[in-house]
Structure 1
Amino acid sequence: MAMFVHVTSAANAPRIRRSGIRAVSHGQGGARGVYCFPVLASHTLTHQWVRELARSGSRGGLVAVHVRLDDAQDVLVGRYSDRARDAQAVVRAAEAVRRVAALEDPRGWEVFVPRAIRPREVHRVRSAPQVAGWRYVPDAHGVRPCTCFGCRVRGGYGARRLRERLPHPLDGPPPPTRVLLTRVAAAGDPGDPAALREALGWFGMRRRGPLRELGRLAAHPDPGVREELVWAVARWSTPGVSELLDGLAADPDPDVREAVEAVRDAG
């Protein structure tokens, strides 16, 4: 049996002990599953992702979930940067452990299990070291930080000054709300899915939004639009968000329901 560690919020620990780890992460090719890392002889390398994951915030700190997988279980293994190029290799779990352990520098490597982790595969759940690992990328110290929306941490120390000093050319501030609502209206009724998803992506960069105007998209026939709506309103402080998510939690599409679960677990 191959042993891996999955790092997650301590708030998820009771549910994981009871029902395992949900397949809510997106992997190579859009697959859903669980990210983890082999348990190596080095405690620091085994928990290398802790400090980076802590940047996104967690309720009650982080925990390390040790899972045992059958040696023959198919997984994807590679550096996190290989994911975008669909270059991660499909191997057996035992081979993934062997490959990572043989590396001179395994920092930034990851293993993706393309399914949920069953309760009987959870070996133990314990507190994770809160300062182990790297931030941003391995060897990031001394390298110009990225200020794109995906990399920056909202409310992080010095984040505003950093964005002012190093504005990202491909991000910038989101278009004004009236412009985005015009795009939503121009998409038609029920609306072109691609145009709506793009507009919702911009809305997701805001702290508040026009929930009354966008609430109708919860009934859009395209599940991708409904899922994007979940991610768009996830961090809004606008009244009515909880009620909207309550309705989407019963959506007929499993991806939409899992998005609501992931948003609430992270909150």
Structure 2
Amino acid sequence: MPKISQSVLQFIPSGPAPLRVLVVETSRLLPEIREKLPNAKIVAVTEYDIVPEVKELRALDVSWSILDYRTQALPFDEVAFDLIVAEPVLSYALDPYDLLLTLGHLLTDVGTLVTAFRNVRYHGVLAQLMRGEFPERERHLYAKAEIVRLLNDTLFKEIIFLPGEQDAENSGKRFADMGFDDTSHDLATAVWLVKATRSTAAVANLKSLYKKETRKQLARLLHRIEYDVKREENIAALKELCVRAGIFPEYLADFIQETVLHPERIPDIFS
């Protein structure tokens, strides 16, 4: 198996959508991001004031914020971005938990974070540890399980991993033979790429079809019906909302499954 080398661009969609994108210390990928998202509104954060003057970046229609994301607050409103591209932040954040919480608040409720981390279980790292070496200073290394815990604790939902730098799959055999787990060729992977979303795919699809206020009203009525709070009155209000907002049976059924603990208590108002 040949060595794999790829970047977080694997997780960035292509198309004409006018997405709001925040790029944190990942300026080298800006030309490719702009090519993939020609209509996006891109804001880039970098610590180095010389970066916006780089010839390849000047013509990309990017707004810049010059600051150190590790020590300075990001000057953006909550729910301001659909996509955050932040390849190095897990490696260099002073407080990864706090930073992920901040980035999560900057995303919409269906937004996506793409990032990467260096794998502490990579066979090259394990070999150094066997020799009593660990030449890492300010840079953090993680195992996948810890990244999952961090993202879950900071309220991200679906998490997808792809190998960013991966050797031939038998590279970690020495350590696998010692009893190290090697699921997904983890021992051969120096860098993992990560995509984390604020909602599951099913919930994201539900949120994309109707305005937030309509979804809030729908959820409120369903919960009142579920717990017999003025049941008949709220069933009538649910029927009226579905007619007024154009909510169709399949959508309502999916919404009930995602938001109600006791879906059997909700009557079929379309029958």
Q: TM-score, normalised by structure 1?
A: 0.26
Q: TM-score, normalised by structure 2?
A: 0.25
